[in-house]
Structure formats: C-alpha cells, structure tokens
Structure 1
Amino acid sequence: MKSFNNEKNRPLTLFLSSYPPRKCGISTFTQDLSTAIDGLKDSELKSKFIAINDNGNYQYPDDVMFQINENEVQDYVKTAEEINGMTNVRQVSIQHEFKLYGSEHGENLLSFLETLEKPAVTTFHAVLSYPSEKRKRIVRAIAEKSANVIVMSNKAVEILKEHYGIPGSKITVIPHGVHNVPPGNNPSEKGKLGYGNRVLLASFGFLRPGRGARSSGRGYEYVIEAMPDIVKKFPNALYLIIGVTHPKTVKREGEMYRNSLEEKVRDLGLEEHVKFINEYVSLDELFTYLKATDIYVCSSLNPQQVTSGTLAYAMGCGCAVVSTPFFHAREAITPDRGILLDDFKDPGLFSKAIIKILSNPSLRKEMKKNAYEYMRGMTWSRTAESYMKVFNKHAKAF
C-alpha cells in the first residue's frame, strides 16, 4: 500500500450522487457504500463526493468536493472539466436514478459524461423494461459512456440486455449491501420500544402514493385494509409504518397521502393497531425496530422494482417477510424466508399470508433465521470488495 504524506495526492474515487444530509435512499446508499470502501484493509483510495442538489440548502461535510444543481447543465460540464484536471482522481462512481439528475429522464447526466475524461462506473438503481424510445436512448448512452455498469439483481441484467441492447460483458451484478448487525433478541427489542406484549408488523421507507403502472408507491393502504382480519385472529397485533413522507411528495402535494392513510385507520377503527412513526429514524433506531418485528411487510406497487433497500435491510436484520411480487422480491424471497404474494393491491392476500406465519411460530423462527443467513453474503464489506474489483479493473493509472 502506498503511503501519502500529502492527503492532496491520495488517489480518489469520486461519487456522483445525492448525499447526506439530503434525505434520499440513494444518498444513504452512497454513504454506506463509500464508508465500507474506505474501511477496506488494503484500499489506498479515499472517497470524495459530488453532491446533486434539488434546490435544497444543505450543510455538507468537507468530503463533498463539488455541488451540482440538478437542473443546471453548465454545472455538470464545469464539474467534469475540473475533475479532468485532477491527476489523483482514478474514477467516478455514478449512482443513477432517473429523476435524480433533473427532468423526467435525467438526461442532464449525459452532459457530465460527455465532458468527463476519467473512467465512470455507473450503478443503475432503477431499470425499467419496455422503455420509451427516449428513455432507451438515454440509458444506452449512459452505458456506452461508462466503463462498466452495475446493477443489483439478475433481472436487471436481463432487462438491460433484452430491452436496451447493452452487452452483458459490460454489466456486473453486485447486490445491495446490508449492515452486519448481530441477530437481535425479539422480546428484548420489543421491550426497549415499549411493545413487549404486542405482535409487531412493520414497514419502513419514505411515504409516497402509487400512481400509474410503474409507480414507486408504498401501497401501505392495502396492508391497513388487511388489518381487521389480522386483528380478529391476533388482537394484540400492531402495524408500525416507519418513515417520513418523501420530500418530493411533500413539495408536490403536502401530506395528502399520509392524511389519507390516517383517515383509513380511523374509518376502520384501527387506532390501537396501526401506528405511524413519522420520523427519519437513525440506523440504530431502525435496527431496533426491525429486530423487534415479527413480520416485515413489503407492499411495493411497482412490479418492475429491481432493487429495494428496505427489503434488503429488513432481511439483513433477520425479518420474516411478506411481500408483493416485484422483481427484487422474486429473487430474494423463497418459501423458507417468507411469503411472496401472487399479486398487488390485495388486502386479502396480505391478511392470509400474515396470519399463516403468525399462526406458526416455528415457521416464523425458521424464516427469520434463513433470511438473516441469506444476507450474510451481502454485507457492506462484501459489497465494497466487489465494487473495488470493478474500480481496479477500470481505474485510471495513478
């Protein structure tokens, strides 16, 4: 390993992404991944960041070297030009989601890639089948200008090859990382939260409504509608909905979705059986909730969702899972780890699956154990090692 007396000369990987304190799933992913990479024993690289801004006023840490307004094309061009002149930058890791880079399809990112002279490795967090011609053109252009693309599921590889014409030789699968948390003591964790005598169901993530066939909506309303049947069988059941409303949803419509969920709870007389944790909880708090959970409920409305960080984190904490059949869930959930539903938006399917698991404690215990063991191969340190192999393959000579 090289020793760098002057930190300015240390080789860098720049991450182009949203970044904390901006509250966004990809910002959390980038922070977790970069922290794991910097913690690798034999890595000489240091992570720095190019933060994509959504007109918010964020107080970024010193490791954020550049800021780009998502809608300002010249910001992308000027930043890439500056990076080209930085001799210690080995590559840029781009975290891609369609709406992160301004406009509907995020085409502003192409201005950055067209200017950049360093190798770029692009992680696609969303991959949609049967794309419009415009979306296909943009995704293909991003892939062509990237040294390598990374996706988090085998289904995403299939879609990129079949629907976008991207060669498989350019695609690497690296699963979503999870924290290497020790298995929890379910009764103990419940006691910490004050739910010692309750059967806990939980979902977490940004609240957002579902609209359209490819909506990223949470679908919590269908779980709430399943609760009356669950409560008849398990009167001490409590469903926790953990998380704040997505910032972009708040800008667009305020708390309309949350209010509609709360109204549904009141209409069904479920005030003692559904609780909203309206907070952006810390990781430690999240792990406590997940370890206390008897069944994690993943009610995503988007059949084409190829990556779910919430599903990965829940299974990583050893949760038995009931989930709608979106792409990532189809790969992760087997009958010994949870129940994959046959359809979306069906309260009856949720209640039947949840009651089945709650009625069989030995089944639930086995599912929790198997989910936890399955995710041990996807801890952040393992994910970081896989990213480093890709980075080293394409890194600019230093």
Structure 2
Amino acid sequence: MKQKILLYTENFPPIEGGSGRWFWELYNRLDSDKVVIVTHDVKGCSDIDASVDAAVVRIPLQSPEWGLKSVQGLKFYWRSVLALKRLVKQYDIDEVHCGRVIHEGVTAWLLSLFTGLKYRCFIHGEDVETAATSREQSMMVKQVCKHAHTLICNSENSKNLTQKLGYDSGEKCVVLHPGADVERFVPKPLDTQFRNAMGWADKFVVLTVGRLQQRKGQDYFIRALPDIVKAIPNCLYVVIGSGECKGELVELVEQLNLHAHVQFQAGLDDQTLISCYQQCDRFVLPNRTIANDIEGFGMVLVEAQACGKPVVAGDSGGTRETMKIGTTGHIIDCSTAESIAKEIVPILTTPSLSPDVYREHVMSHFTWEGHLGKFIAIMDE
C-alpha cells in the first residue's frame, strides 16, 4: 500500500462501540507512517492514543445537527471542511477514509467538490437505512456514495441495503467483515476464582456485550427470562455495556423481580471483559430491528466464538454472517420476548461442542491478519 491515508471518524476508542473498535484494530495494523487518525476529542483518550502507532489528531466532531438545511449544520460542516482541508495538506494525505456516510462522508464529499479529494466511506447498514427515512439525509448519502471511490460495507447485508436503497449500483460496494484479535480472544479453562469474584458461582451464565439500546434487545431477553429460568433455574443473564436504555433495563429487572438472574456490568478493563467472554456459558446478542435501526454485523459474536463459545443472535441485519448456523451459532426470532423464550431454551439446554469448533470458524474467516490483506487489496485496486 503506497498511499497515505487519513481516517476521519467520530467513533473511535475510548468511545464505546463496534465500529470504533474495528477502526482501531484495522488501522493500527497498517504502517504507522502511512496513517493519520482524525477523531473526536474526548476525555480519557490519552491511553488509547498512546496505544496507536500512527499519529492521532483530536478535534471536535460532534454536532446536534447533521443536516445542510439548518444553520447549526451548515456551521458544523463549514468548520469541518476547513479543518479536514488543513489536515490533508499538513500531512500530505492521498485519500480520506470516512467512518460513516453521515457526517464524516458528507464533509469529505463537500471538500472533494473543491479539491478533487479521493475518499472512501464505510457503510454499517443502520446508517444508510436510517438516512433513507429523511429526504434531506437521503440526498446527502446519495451524493456521498456517488462521489466516493469505494464503499466499504461491513456485511453482505449492508451491501444489499445500500444497493436496494439506490445509493450504489453495485460498482463501488465491497464487503469487509470486522474480525477478532485471535491472540487476545482465546479459549480458557474454567476459572472458578474469576467466576466466584464475579458472582457467577454455580450459575449458567448467558452473556451479552454491547451498547444498551433497543436494537440490541437486552430488554426483550430480560422479559423472556422468567420462562428461561423455569427451564434453567440457575440462569444468570450478564449484561455488559452502557447506554441510553440503562435506567429502563434496571427498572424492568425490578418489576419482574429478577435481581437474582440479571447482572449489569460496565466500564470493565479489556482483560476483565475478555475473561467474561472466556468464562460465560453462552453468548447471546438478541438484536431486533427498531424502525430502520439494525445490527449491521455484530463483532461481539465473532469475539465470543474466538473464545470458544457458542452464540445466539436475532434474525435481523448481518448477524447470520458471523457464524456457521447450526454449528457455531443459531439465529432466532427476537422480535418478541415470547419467541426468544420459545426458541432459545432448547438451544441453551443442548450441550455445547468443543471450544475448538467455534474458534476454528473464526480462524478460518475472521482473523485481523486475513482482513488486513483484503483491506490492502481493496486499497491497491
């Protein structure tokens, strides 16, 4: 790869989320002298920035308005275009990689109108589907996609959505699945000391890792727990993450008197989080579609399999692309609590296979090294 790249993304650690971690994993594996990362300025970012070999530039990248019709939106894009132009010149950048179509892609598109800037844009699925509900945002996305050199989709599902919505005819879309760090996400023997410390002793631990938001489905899984507990009395649902639905989920646990069967965790360090993957019994992402908000892929499902765990996910978005259905994982209907309970109990009560079976699927399809090769090939086309 000869070109010098500027990654332009609001979502990047320490901001939580799969796309930010994807960017950290991917761009941190490229030659550091070929990458500059421009991301949002947040508190507590010094440790993350120190872990990245490439140059990291922190600037304000948040706005209450992303449209071009509002004064706030216009001011935001004006400042963003000027800042991006300055950074492209300062670091002698050949092309910009945008973390999303809106707003990062819009900024790159606007700059390209005046400078001929070459840019590529990541597509996550929920971004283009949500934009399609707004005439203004849909117009913006069409222009971003029209002028982009490549649209990097995180799944076949996201690619199909982009084409179905008329944002690309099929010439620009390429699929690059996120992966897992197979050196860190590894199977481990039962660690009784860790499980005891976490309050998991003698529990059948079902784990979910992800932002606490409706489409992740933690709420419906909690509603399904009374029926699940009838079949698995020692079931403990461990929810790791933070987000806007935390209060609602805590209240739901209180209403259903499920304190003994639900545990919330947040702010865990990386090693403790990985240990949770390694020491749980099953991993579930009970995602569902909320209006036009979908799960584009589901990195956490890949990470769980890398740790030798069977996975279960909702039949929405690109989650089925993370697993070998029927062997390393199952897809179920998570649109209601009743359907979750009905379909997941037989899965949870079936003995799991050897951890090697789940890990081998990841080793064959989702290592970062393999994805890095695909990414570089895309850049060199």
TM-score, normalised with respect to structure 1: 0.78
Q: Distance in 2 between matches of 1:314 and 1:79?
A: 39
Cα deviation for residue 75 of structure 1 reads 2.5
State the match for 2:34 in structure 1.
46
Q: Distance in 2 between matches of 1:264 and 1:70?
A: 32
Question: 1:113–1:142: 8 Å Cα contact kept in structure 2?
Answer: no
State the match for 1:354 in structure 2.
344
Residues 1:26 and 2:19 are matched in the alignment = yes
**Given the alignment, which residue of 323, 334, 338 partners 2:329?**
338
Distance 1:206 1:170, change over 3 A: same
SS of 2:371 mapped into structure 1:
helix
Q: Distance in 2 between matches of 1:268 and 1:354?
A: 19
Question: 1:84–1:117: 8 Å Cα contact kept in structure 2?
Answer: no
Distance 1:57 1:262, change over 3 A: closer
Distance 1:22 1:260, change over 3 A: closer
Question: 1:13–1:45: 8 Å Cα contact kept in structure 2?
Answer: no
Q: Distance in 2 between matches of 1:324 and 1:348?
A: 13
Cα deviation for residue 290 of structure 1 reads 1.0
Q: Distance in 2 between matches of 1:107 and 1:13?
A: 18
State the match for 2:361 in structure 1.
374
Distance 1:230 1:57, change over 3 A: closer
Distance 1:343 1:231, change over 3 A: closer
Question: 1:320–1:338: 8 Å Cα contact kept in structure 2?
Answer: yes
Cα deviation for residue 272 of structure 1 reads 1.2
CA displacement, residues 325-367 of structure 1 (integer Å, 9 cap, x when unaligned): 11212333411122211341x2232223332133221xx225x
| Structural mapping, 1:115-264, within 5 Å | 115-127=114-126, 128-129=128-129, 131-132=132-133, 133-180=135-182, 181-186=185-190, 190=195, 193-208=198-213, 210=214, 217-245=215-243, 249=244, 257-264=245-252
Question: 2:101–2:144: 8 Å Cα contact kept in structure 1?
Answer: no
Question: 2:156–2:175: 8 Å Cα contact kept in structure 1?
Answer: yes
Question: 1:92–1:120: 8 Å Cα contact kept in structure 2?
Answer: yes
Q: Distance in 2 between matches of 1:66 and 1:78?
A: 15
Greater Cα shift, 181-190 or 314-323: 181-190
Q: Distance in 1 between matches of 2:19 and 2:273?
A: 17
CA displacement, residues 32-84 of structure 1 (integer Å, 9 cap, x when unaligned): 1112224xxxxx7532211135xx55655372235243342222221232244
The one-letter code sitting in structure 1 at the alignment partner of 2:358 is: A
Question: 1:136–1:164: 8 Å Cα contact kept in structure 2?
Answer: no
Cα deviation for residue 14 of structure 1 reads 1.3
SS of 2:236 mapped into structure 1:
strand
Q: Distance in 1 between matches of 2:88 and 2:242?
A: 39
Q: Distance in 1 between matches of 2:350 and 2:9?
A: 43
Greater Cα shift, 109-118 or 317-326: 109-118
Q: Distance in 2 between matches of 1:161 and 1:265?
A: 41
CA displacement, residues 84-119 of structure 1 (integer Å, 9 cap, x when unaligned): 434742322211164x55xxxx84553344345442
SS of 1:235 mapped into structure 2:
coil
Q: Distance in 1 between matches of 2:107 and 2:206?
A: 41
State the match for 1:325 in structure 2.
315
Residues 1:305 and 2:317 are matched in the alignment = no
Cα deviation for residue 370 of structure 1 reads 3.8
The one-letter code sitting in structure 2 at the alignment partner of 1:335 is: G
State the match for 2:69 in structure 1.
none
SS of 1:164 mapped into structure 2:
coil
Cα deviation for residue 287 of structure 1 reads 1.3
**Given the alignment, which residue of 14, 18, 43 partners 2:6?**
14
**Given the alignment, which residue of 368, 372, 392 partners 2:380?**
392
Q: Distance in 2 between matches of 1:221 and 1:66?
A: 35
Distance 1:88 1:156, change over 3 A: same
Q: Distance in 2 between matches of 1:58 and 1:153?
A: 31
Q: Percent identity?
A: 20
Q: Which runs of 5+ in 2 are unaligned?
A: 64-75
Q: Distance in 2 between matches of 1:183 and 1:59?
A: 30
Q: Distance in 1 between matches of 2:137 and 2:357?
A: 38
State the match for 2:304 in structure 1.
314
CA displacement, residues 155-207 of structure 1 (integer Å, 9 cap, x when unaligned): 22222223225132211111112111322224556456452421100111121
Aligned residues: 351
Question: 1:22–1:58: 8 Å Cα contact kept in structure 2?
Answer: no
Q: Distance in 1 between matches of 2:342 and 2:302?
A: 23
Distance 1:147 1:321, change over 3 A: same
